[in-house]
């Protein structure tokens, strides 16, 4: 044995271990593609997190806010909200992705001639569909009830994260003001999220711990929907007190400008002053009362509350929280980002219904310029009216003669509000409070409190603001009942596509079983051959408040003492 | 070290004990009488030996009298010849069909005689691999490895096979095994890139028990490829050319209903709601209005002829076509005593079976060069370069889905008045159908990939005891793909729809119809460095002790680094009025993806092995790995292994008794090993997602969160088996060498990683966690035998059998997890106690009073009178004619087969005629026929025309029943009507080869063989889809652990008729 070999072996062994020890720094790869959570812990990082609510709160799918996503209905504003508009008979569809054909399918339509169309789905009642088919964890991303819940809790989580960090971060300039803007921002959107949860689900959860960098989880203490609304108002009141103590200076403007996407800062979507912001909150708080109480059950005290809140609510000159599309669809896609964009044209996912058109003052013969500028008959190349009949095995109420006009290609009168415009940034979505909503809530309160003329004047103001071109109703001697009809028509038309129609249909009792006085008579409806009937009766029979989605209950069972998570209906 | 030195010194003394009196010379030849270089010649029971030279010659000092020479060479039967008085010797060596005498290296670290191996290793030599039309090694392996499920799950040119060796180990990382090529890992290049003709041998070890030494990546088993080497001696030139004709399979006779149920007028003319006949507007290519189809109306039947305004078109005939594959290769090999080389170049060109859909083309260059630098010191360089070009335009699913979901009256060949191909013919032809010809017209794809696999191996065998080995492997893949969707704004049909506010066009990123060019620049750089020292001692031979113990110690360092880079840019808005143009002529440009994924892991392996005589062996060791997935400063994870064998046939009573005549070889073996499965590189790193909103950066946590507490998955496996050789009729040509190797294995994975759902109120969707416990077990057996071995005829048979089942033992949180097939729509469930990836949905009933798992009637007693069992066996509602489907969902069963079996037979007559065939039998696999399910949506499937009766009524093809199968409960929901037994028996290969060089003894030609072969020519199955073998898993490498049972418009396999000419000089 040569000593030479010995050294070789030793040498190689040393080489081996030498190589190994020099490797350890190579293990430090992290993820070179994306920042770590520490990036959120700076002034700019926190503001970026604040802007992130437009992603996490409203978009779903791969690398976005919520787990489940189906591109046919789309994200929050075109998908989750479509469930509202479908149940409210604003739109109809025969497309079955995540059951959008079933959630708003009435039990029965009876035509003038006595013939009827039952819900052809199996199960053939919406309540059974929800309970038997939809609301199971195993239905996963097809559960109709999942979406609004998931989006709003994702929004809530981002807000919790902002609130958990805001006092840890060093700010330059007027740090107190910047912090206040961020806190108000988070509290406002938490208030918004809880408002939507409490206005839709029979019970909810109050979750205040952030999840992301660490997983703090949730809690199993389900509270009744009224308590969720209370939580919404608590967050909103906290925002009011912060904003009340904040004055608008350059740092305020700069911070809020950075929190609102630049493409939204158009039209009504400017940078709100603290006062404007407070007014948006008041209007939202008024909504929380109005939409969660049956009209028949509204107390005088509640009308007074609404009067008080709307008196301090959004004015016609105010900026509010809006959404717009841009070419890269950062928040909304120009052609598909909202319900109305997806209801545009003759062959889109959604079609506006006969009943929406009927609710114009005067129905399809209306003088309302909003009708002429936004709605047209569905015709073929030779000009013949071709009702959309579609997949008759999927529903009974989506047959329609109407389509929404794309104002990008058919501009119409600039003075008239646009219901759809598919050019980037063309359509203005009202995400929360608007002047019209405030005015009409106030009008409703006034009418029911006996100040009919004052209420009608507000309806006229709204119609004027939207360029309806209708003759004033104030001063025409309408009875309270006639005034209520004007108000209901105006809420259907003036507030359409603002995610409010379902609330109205619910509180007006239309969605209740016929046996309880629900449904709609004198309705315009088509049968499957396209024949138009004008005195049809529709029995919707929808669940008024949704059960807690089973996707939640499966992973977060109710703790002892929780409120019921299922609507007893 | 001192010990080793002492032992070495001892050896030097020992060697000198033998006297060498005379020199024996000889020549070793093969069956063709050609000199065999590289044969080991050893004087039995000594260390005296040599290796034959390039002509097969050798010379060796031997004792003056007595002694035996042992001649051995891989793949050839070892011969022992007693030394006579003659000083010359001629030896003819023949191929050894008894697999047990092979030497294997995979899973053992040190090349080991298979007789002394304690693990189950399958090896397949080049001669056993069929010349698959794809010319790729992965296709050739189908059916060749006992226990393994290797399936050809798509007929798209270039599609990878699905490989599942032993059970499902991990949900997170798929079933793909680790691929080694000549000892180094091939991580960037996929198996189907390797040219079949360059591979000499494949070894497969299937689980952790054998693969522990390969570390974390070895848990799914290891497939090791060995590149052909040159032999010293004369120059060999081999040329092979083949051409094959491929026809798509439709073994289930899939077709569209030849009758319809649309509203017609008195003359059977199909009319719309307007009352007018349906027409196509020649200016736009669109139908005037929708068909009226009242599918749920209980009086409607699918019974009207297509004989008026709508005519039946055979879309299958239009869109599928026979295609050709052409393969060519040339190889040159040779060498001298100091070096060897094998160089080959090849090309494979395969056209798509879909009309106007391009081709897939691969060229390979391989060079395997070895040199002896100094005594004992060898350097080997192996180079594989592959250039793959694909012009396949459209994903098969896009084309097939749109074709299958069109009513047969759609005339796709019609163009508009300006000659445009219409895209959207209107909802009339089916909701989901667009014209696939349009896709082909407006798409251009040029996908180029270069793969380089380069390895260097420096090996230093010291004269005694120590072998040092260093390997460096570089595997580089670069992909440059240009995908263009042309500007479609001038297409008359597209313009018509745009005018109708309906956007109908194809694009990648463009939201308008003006087209885009997307460029993908992706690369993977993988490096593998292995350094090992092996210390071997033979106590009897080396130290002259009377104790036949051999020891082998291997210490290895293994370093791997992988860097993936992906860069995608798109230019949007292409010129419409002129060409050519390039991306610079477009209106906007953007980077859509810029991604880098580095991953480093390294570790040590220590393995100690002892063999006592030829009788018993035991080994044990461990592997310890560091990983960048855990970051700097993390602790390594360490896993152990051990195995043992007991070779009863080497005992005296056996070896010298009668039993050896019948069972010459009998070995018991068992092995146990653990392997870690690492999280993916970033699974433990929590990040904030940055996005741009307007002009500003926005941050948010995506719904899918990483978890810094994630642990490595641990796969533990135990296997035990027997290796037996049986000689049934000794001294006859029949059934002599029957080698049987049964193996039972059992394994479990703990801490299997999964994205676990969290309650939505958390504000997230899923968090990665060590969520699953998985258990699997199986049994495999390979039987290979020379059925007949006569002077002119040999008949070899191989039977491979394997069964396996994988189950979920536990899930964190105990909630069943519902998954949706990557291809869409089909549901699977992952639930404790169930097999992995069971199909899940609503069930049909076969009795009105059927009861559920709780004994409750599915149909409440009071309603049962409304239902009846129809003549097709399903419960239907008597009034609505709709089928009854359970409200609750159930798992249907395991899509994975109960067993896989292959029968391989080869006949050789007089060295010039060879005949072979292979049957593959996959038993009780299941597929969810989602292809058919979708065809039920619009009443397109031919099932719609099958009449049935309810309560003795006249049989009719009621649409309400068929439509209900699609729509009831959940539209397009998963329903057991479409869950089918996909058992099949397939004639995988059949070939006849005639070697004219041998028939006519043509000089200079070593081989002049004409082979006629066929693949997938015949299939026996009850499956009603195109092909029971396909699976629509669309995960990036088609190796999903759970998405294994859906057939969703995937391209079926094809049957091929192939002619090959093999020429050797």
Is B212 in the A-facing interface, judged by CB distances under 8 Å?
no
Q: Report which DSSP code applies to B97.
A: -
Is A80 in the B-facing interface, judged by CB distances under 8 Å?
no
In chain A, residues 107-126 whose CB comes closer than 8 Å to chain B: 120-123
- Share the mean pLDDT of chain A: 94
pLDDT (tens digit, 9 = 90+) per residue, B306-325?
A: 999 999 999 999 999 999 99
Evaluate if residue B21 carries a pLDDT over 80: no
| Token output for B605 | 């392996």
Chain B residues in contact with A343 by the CB 8 A cut-off are none
CB of A456 closer than 8 Å to CB of A445: no
| Token output for B159 | 């599609």
| Alpha-carbon distance A474 to nearest alpha carbon in chain B (angstroms) | 39
- In B, minimum Cα distance to A68 occurs at B765
Tell me if B763 and A207 make a contact (CB, 8 A cut-off): yes
Tell me if B502 and A346 make a contact (CB, 8 A cut-off): yes
| Alpha-carbon distance B331 to nearest alpha carbon in chain A (angstroms) | 37
* Burial group, residue B327, by CB count within 10 angstroms (0-12, 13-18, 19+): buried
Evaluate if residue B19 carries a pLDDT over 70: no
Compute the average pLDDT of residues B374-382.
94
Return the top range by mean pLDDT from A484-493, B61-70, B388-397: A484-493
Bridge partners (DSSP) of residue B991 are B916, B1013
In chain B, residues 749-808 whose CB comes closer than 8 Å to chain A: 757-767
Q: Which of B892, B911, B933, B887 is nearest to B1025 (CA)?
A: B933
Helix, strand or coil for residue B768? strand
In chain A, residues 395-414 whose CB comes closer than 8 Å to chain B: 403, 406, 409
Query: Residue B33: its pLDDT value, please?
Result: 66
Which bin fits B925, alpha (ψ -120 to 50), beta or left (φ > 0)?
beta
Is B458 in the A-facing interface, judged by CB distances under 8 Å?
no
Q: Determine the Cα–Cα distance for residues A391 and B293; give it in Å rounded to an integer.
A: 8
Is B970 in the A-facing interface, judged by CB distances under 8 Å?
yes
Query: Residue A10: its pLDDT value, please?
Result: 52
Query: Residue B99: its pLDDT value, please?
Result: 46
Query: Residue B843: its pLDDT value, please?
Result: 96
Chain B residues in contact with A24 by the CB 8 A cut-off are 626, 632-633
Global ipTM:
0.94
- Share the mean pLDDT of chain B: 90
Tell me if A140 and B818 make a contact (CB, 8 A cut-off): yes
Tell me if A345 and B500 make a contact (CB, 8 A cut-off): yes
Tell me if B763 and A10 make a contact (CB, 8 A cut-off): no
At A249, the pLDDT band (50, 70, 90 cuts) reads very high
List C-alpha distances in Å: B88 to B57, B84, B396: 11, 9, 66
Option in A52, A263, A386 nearest B274 (CB)? A386
| Alpha-carbon distance A304 to nearest alpha carbon in chain B (angstroms) | 34
Task: State percent of chain A over pLDDT 90.
Answer: 90
Compute the average pLDDT of residues B833-838.
92
CB atoms within 10 A of CB A183: 20
pLDDT (tens digit, 9 = 90+) per residue, B107-130?
A: 887 788 888 899 999 889 888 888
Evaluate if residue A3 carries a pLDDT over 60: no
Q: Determine the Cα–Cα distance for residues B747 and B224; give it in Å rounded to an integer.
A: 22
Q: Which of B631, B555, B427 is nearest to A27 (CA)?
A: B631
Tell me if B761 and A328 make a contact (CB, 8 A cut-off): no
Evaluate if residue B10 carries a pLDDT over 50: no
pLDDT (tens digit, 9 = 90+) per residue, B902-939?
A: 999 999 998 899 999 999 999 999 999 999 999 999 99
Is B972 in the A-facing interface, judged by CB distances under 8 Å?
yes
- For residue A430, whether the previous peptide bond is cis, meaning omega lies within 30 degrees of 0, is no
pLDDT (tens digit, 9 = 90+) per residue, B752-805?
A: 999 999 999 999 999 999 999 999 999 999 999 989 988 889 999 999 999 999
| Token output for B524 | 């993977």
| Alpha-carbon distance A415 to nearest alpha carbon in chain B (angstroms) | 23
pTM recorded for the entire structure: 0.90
Q: Determine the Cα–Cα distance for residues B699 and A57; give it in Å rounded to an integer.
A: 12
pLDDT (tens digit, 9 = 90+) per residue, B48-87?
A: 788 887 778 888 888 877 788 888 776 566 777 888 888 8
| Alpha-carbon distance A240 to nearest alpha carbon in chain B (angstroms) | 25
Tell me if B760 and A157 make a contact (CB, 8 A cut-off): no
Q: What is the DSSP string of A306-341?
A: HHHHHHTS--TT----EE-B-TT-SSB-TTTSSTTG
Tell me if B700 and A406 make a contact (CB, 8 A cut-off): no
Is B851 in the A-facing interface, judged by CB distances under 8 Å?
no
Tell me if B533 and A12 make a contact (CB, 8 A cut-off): yes
What is the widest separation between alpha-carbon atoms in chain A?
A: 121
CB of A147 closer than 8 Å to CB of A76: yes
Query: Residue A446: its pLDDT value, please?
Result: 98
Query: Residue B545: its pLDDT value, please?
Result: 85
Chain A residues in contact with B887 by the CB 8 A cut-off are 123, 132-133
CB of A229 closer than 8 Å to CB of A196: no
| Alpha-carbon distance B604 to nearest alpha carbon in chain A (angstroms) | 9
Query: Residue A9: its pLDDT value, please?
Result: 52
| Alpha-carbon distance B214 to nearest alpha carbon in chain A (angstroms) | 17
Query: Residue B644: its pLDDT value, please?
Result: 95
- For residue A123, whether the previous peptide bond is cis, meaning omega lies within 30 degrees of 0, is yes
Chain A residues in contact with B818 by the CB 8 A cut-off are 137-140
More confident residue, B22 or A474: A474
Query: Residue B1036: its pLDDT value, please?
Result: 65
Query: Residue B941: its pLDDT value, please?
Result: 97
Chain A residues in contact with B699 by the CB 8 A cut-off are 35, 39-40, 45, 48-49, 51-52
Chain A residues in contact with B282 by the CB 8 A cut-off are none
- In B, minimum Cα distance to A222 occurs at B761
Tell me if A35 and B688 make a contact (CB, 8 A cut-off): yes
pLDDT (tens digit, 9 = 90+) per residue, B204-258?
A: 998 888 888 887 678 889 999 999 998 877 789 999 999 999 999 999 999 999 9
Is B446 in the A-facing interface, judged by CB distances under 8 Å?
no
Q: Determine the Cα–Cα distance for residues B36 and B919; give it in Å rounded to an integer.
A: 35
Compute the average pLDDT of residues A312-337.
96
Evaluate if residue B9 carries a pLDDT over 70: no
Evaluate if residue B842 carries a pLDDT over 70: yes
Beta-strand pair B793-811/B817-820? unpaired
Return the top range by mean pLDDT from B154-158, B191-195, B845-849: B845-849
Is A12 in the B-facing interface, judged by CB distances under 8 Å?
yes
Compute the average pLDDT of residues B510-517.
94
* Residues B934, B938, B944, B950, Cα dihedral to 10°: 110
Is B600 in the A-facing interface, judged by CB distances under 8 Å?
yes
Task: Out of A239-253, A428-442, B667-681, pick the least confident.
Answer: B667-681
- Look-up of token digits 């080793």: B4
Evaluate if residue B5 carries a pLDDT over 70: no
| Alpha-carbon distance B536 to nearest alpha carbon in chain A (angstroms) | 14
| Token output for B622 | 């461990």
Compute the average pLDDT of residues B476-504.
94
| Token output for A303 | 């009308």
Evaluate if residue B100 carries a pLDDT over 60: no
At B18, the pLDDT band (50, 70, 90 cuts) reads very low
């Amino acid at each position: 044995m040569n000593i030479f070999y010995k050294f070789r072996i030793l040498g190689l062994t040393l080489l081996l271990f030498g190589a190994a020890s020099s490797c350890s720094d190579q293990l430090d790869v992290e993820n070179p593609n994306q920042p770590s959570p520490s990036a959120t812990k700076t002034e700019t990082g926190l503001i970026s997190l604040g802007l992130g609510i437009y992603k996490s709160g409203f978009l779903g799918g791969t690398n976005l806010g919520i787990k489940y996503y189906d591109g046919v209905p789309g994200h929050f504003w075109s998908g989750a909200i479509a469930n509202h508009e479908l149940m409210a008979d604003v739109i109809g569809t025969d497309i079955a992705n995540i059951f959008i054909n079933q959630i708003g399918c009435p039990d029965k339509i009876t035509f003038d001639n006595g013939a009827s169309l039952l819900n052809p789905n199996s199960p053939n009642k919406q309540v059974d569909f929800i309970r038997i088919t939809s609301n199971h964890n195993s239905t996963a991303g097809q559960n109709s009830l999942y979406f609004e819940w998931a989006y709003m809790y994702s929004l809530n989580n981002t807000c919790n994260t902002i609130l958990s960090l805001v006092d840890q971060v060093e700010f330059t300039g007027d740090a107190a003001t910047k912090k206040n803007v961020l806190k108000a921002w988070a509290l406002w959107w938490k208030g918004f999220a809880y408002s939507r949860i409490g206005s839709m689900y029979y019970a909810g959860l109050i979750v205040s711990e952030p999840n992301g960098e660490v997983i703090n989880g949730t809690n199993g203490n389900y509270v009744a929907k009224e308590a969720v609304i209370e939580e919404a108002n608590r967050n909103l009141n906290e925002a009011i007190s912060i904003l009340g103590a904040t004055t608008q200076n350059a740092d305020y403007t700069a911070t809020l400008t950075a929190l609102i996407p630049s493409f939204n800062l158009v039209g009504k979507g400017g940078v709100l002053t603290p006062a404007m912001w407070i007014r948006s909150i008041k209007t939202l708080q008024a909504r929380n009362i109005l939409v969660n109480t049956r009209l028949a059950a509204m107390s005088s005290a509640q009308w007074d509350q609404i009067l008080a809140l709307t008196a301090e609510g959004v004015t016609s000159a105010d900026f509010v929280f809006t959404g717009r599309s841009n070419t890269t669809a950062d928040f909304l896609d120009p052609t598909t980002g909202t319900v109305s964009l997806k209801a545009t044209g003759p062959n889109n996912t959604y079609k506006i219904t006969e009943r929406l058109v009927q609710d114009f003052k005067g129905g399809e013969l209306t003088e309302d310029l909003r009708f002429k500028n936004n709605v047209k008959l569905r015709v073929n190349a030779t000009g013949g009216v071709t009702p959309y009949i579609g997949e008759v095995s999927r529903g009974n109420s989506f047959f329609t003669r109407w389509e929404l006009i794309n104002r990008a290609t058919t501009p119409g009168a600039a003075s008239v509000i646009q219901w759809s415009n598919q050019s980037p940034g063309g359509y203005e979505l009202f995400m929360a409070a608007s002047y019209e909503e405030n005015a009409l809530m106030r009008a409703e309160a006034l009418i029911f409190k006996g100040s009919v003329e004052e209420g009608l004047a507000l309806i006229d103001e709204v119609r004027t603001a939207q360029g309806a071109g209708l003759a004033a109703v104030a001063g025409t001697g309408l009875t309270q009942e006639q005034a209520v009809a004007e108000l209901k028509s105006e809420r259907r038309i003036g507030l359409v596509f603002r995610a409010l129609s379902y609330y109205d249909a619910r509180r007006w009792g239309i969605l209740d079983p016929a046996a309880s006085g629900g449904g709609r008579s004198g309705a315009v409806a088509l049968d499957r051959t396209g024949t138009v009937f004008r005195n049809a009766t529709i029995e919707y029979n929808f669940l008024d408040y949704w059960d807690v989605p089973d996707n939640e209950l499966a992973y977060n069972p109710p703790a002892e003492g929780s409120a019921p998570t299922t609507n007893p209906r | 070290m001192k010990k080793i030195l002492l032992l070495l010194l001892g050896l030097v003394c020992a060697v000198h004990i033998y006297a060498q009196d005379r020199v024996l010379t000889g020549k070793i030849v093969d069956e063709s009488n050609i000199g065999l270089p590289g044969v080991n010649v050893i004087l039995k029971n000594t260390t005296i030996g040599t290796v034959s030279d390039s002509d097969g010659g050798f010379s060796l000092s031997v004792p003056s009298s007595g002694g035996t020479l042992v001649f051995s060479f891989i793949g050839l039967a070892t011969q022992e010849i007693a030394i006579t008085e003659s000083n010359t010797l001629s030896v003819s060596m023949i191929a050894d069909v008894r697999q047990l005498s092979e030497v294997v290296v995979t899973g053992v670290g040190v090349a080991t005689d298979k007789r002394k191996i304690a693990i189950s290793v399958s090896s397949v030599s080049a001669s056993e691999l069929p010349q698959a039309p794809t010319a790729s090694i992965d296709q050739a392996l189908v059916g060749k490895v006992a226990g393994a499920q290797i399936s050809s799950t798509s007929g798209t040119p270039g599609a990878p096979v699905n490989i599942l060796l032993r059970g499902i180990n991990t949900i997170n990382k798929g079933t793909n095994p680790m691929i080694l090529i000549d000892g180094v890992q091939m991580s960037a290049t996929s198996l189907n890139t390797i040219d079949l003709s360059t591979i000499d041998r494949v070894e497969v070890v299937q689980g952790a028990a054998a693969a522990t030494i390969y570390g974390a990546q070895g848990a799914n088993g290891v497939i090791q490829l060995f590149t052909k080497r040159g032999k010293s001696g004369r120059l060999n030139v081999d040329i092979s050319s083949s051409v094959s004709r491929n026809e798509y399979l439709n073994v289930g006779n899939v077709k569209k209903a030849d009758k319809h149920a649309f509203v017609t007028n008195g003359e059977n003319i199909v009319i719309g709601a307007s009352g007018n006949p349906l027409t196509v507007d020649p200016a736009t290519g669109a139908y005037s209005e929708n068909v009226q189809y009242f599918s749920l109306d209980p009086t409607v039947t699918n019974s009207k002829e297509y004989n008026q305004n709508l005519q039946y078109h055979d879309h299958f005939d239009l869109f599928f076509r026979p295609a050709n594959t052409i393969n060519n290769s040339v190889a040159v090999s040779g060498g001298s005593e100091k070096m060897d080389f094998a160089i080959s170049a090849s090309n494979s060109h395969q056209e798509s079976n879909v009309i106007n859909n391009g081709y897939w083309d691969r060229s390979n260059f391989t060079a395997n060069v070895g040199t002896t630098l100094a005594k004992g010191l060898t350097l080997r360089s192996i180079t594989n370069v592959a250039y793959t070009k694909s012009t396949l335009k459209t994903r098969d699913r896009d084309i097939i889905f749109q074709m299958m979901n069109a009513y047969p009256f759609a005339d796709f060949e019609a163009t508009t008045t300006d000659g445009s191909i219409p895209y959207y013919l209107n909802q009339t032809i089916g909701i989901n159908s667009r014209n696939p010809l349009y896709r082909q017209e407006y798409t251009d794809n040029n996908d180029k990939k270069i793969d380089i696999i380069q390895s260097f191996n420096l090996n230093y065998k010291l004269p005694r005891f120590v072998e040092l080995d260093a390997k460096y492997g570089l595997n580089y893949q670069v992909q440059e793909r240009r995908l263009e969707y042309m500007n479609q704004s001038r297409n008359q049909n597209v313009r018509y729809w745009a005018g109708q506010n309906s956007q109908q066009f194809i694009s990648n990123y463009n939201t308008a119809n003006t087209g885009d060019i997307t460029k993908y620049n992706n690369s993977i750089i993988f490096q593998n460095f292995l350094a090992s020292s092996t210390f071997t001692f033979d106590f009897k031979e080396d130290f002259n002790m009377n104790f036949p113990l051999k020891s082998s110690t291997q210490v290895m360092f293994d370093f791997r680094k992988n860097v993936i880079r992906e860069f995608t840019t798109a230019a949007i808005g292409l010129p419409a009025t002129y060409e050519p143009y390039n991306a610079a002529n477009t209106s906007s440009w953007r980077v859509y993806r810029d991604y880098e994924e580095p991953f480093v892991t390294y570790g040590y392996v220590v393995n100690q092995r002892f063999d006592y005589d030829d009788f018993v062996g035991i080994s044990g060791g461990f592997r310890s790995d560091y990983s960048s997935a855990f970051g700097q400063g993390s602790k390594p994870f360490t896993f152990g292994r051990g195995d043992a064998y007991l070779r009863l046939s080497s005992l005296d009573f056996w070896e010298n008794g009668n039993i050896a005549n019948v069972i010459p070889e009998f070995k018991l073996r068992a092995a146990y090993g653990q392997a870690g499965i690492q999280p993916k590189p970033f699974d433990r790193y929590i990040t904030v997602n940055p996005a741009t909103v307007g002009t500003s950066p926005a941050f948010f946590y995506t719904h899918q969160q990483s978890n810094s507490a994630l642990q490595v998955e641990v796969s533990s496996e135990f296997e035990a088996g027997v290796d037996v050789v049986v000689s049934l009729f000794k001294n006859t040509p029949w059934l002599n060498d029957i080698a049987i190797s049964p193996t039972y294995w059992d394994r479990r994975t703990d801490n299997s990683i999964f994205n676990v759902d969290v309650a939505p109120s958390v504000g997230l969707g899923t968090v990665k966690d060590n969520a699953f416990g998985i258990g699997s077990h199986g049994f495999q057996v390979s039987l290979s035998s020379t059925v007949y071995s006569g002077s002119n005829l040999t008949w070899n048979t191989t039977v491979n059998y394997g069964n396996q089942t994988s189950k979920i033992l536990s899930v964190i949180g105990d909630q069943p997890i519902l998954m949706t097939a990557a291809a869409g729509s089909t549901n699977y469930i992952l639930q404790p106690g169930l097999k992995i990836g069971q199909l899940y949905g609503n069930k049909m009933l076969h009795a009105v009073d059927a009861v559920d798992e709780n004994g409750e009637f599915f149909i409440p007693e009071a309603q049962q009178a409304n239902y009846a069992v129809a003549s097709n066996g399903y419960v239907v509602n008597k009034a609505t004619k709709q089928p009854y489907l359970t409200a609750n969902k159930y798992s249907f069963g395991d899509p994975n087969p109960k067993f896989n079996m292959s029968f391989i037979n080869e006949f050789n007559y007089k060295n010039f005629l060879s005949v072979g065939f292979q049957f593959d039998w996959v038993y009780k696999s299941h597929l969810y026929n989602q292809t058919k399910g979708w065809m039920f949506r619009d009443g397109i499937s031919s099932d719609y025309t099958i009449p049935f009766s309810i309560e003795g009524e006249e049989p009719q093809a009621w649409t309400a029943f068929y439509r209900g199968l699609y729509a009831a409960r959940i539209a397009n929901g998963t329903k057991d009507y479409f869950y089918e037994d996909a058992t099949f028996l397939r004639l995988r290969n059949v070939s006849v080869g005639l070697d004219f060089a041998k028939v006519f003894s043509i000089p200079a030609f070593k081989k002049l063989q004409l082979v006629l072969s066929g693949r997938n020519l015949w299939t026996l199955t009850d499956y009603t889809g195109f092909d029971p073998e396909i699976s629509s898993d669309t995960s990036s490498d088609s190796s999903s652990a759970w998405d294994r049972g859906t057939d969703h418009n995937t391209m079926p396999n094809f049957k091929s008729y192939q002619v090959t000419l093999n020429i050797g000089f």
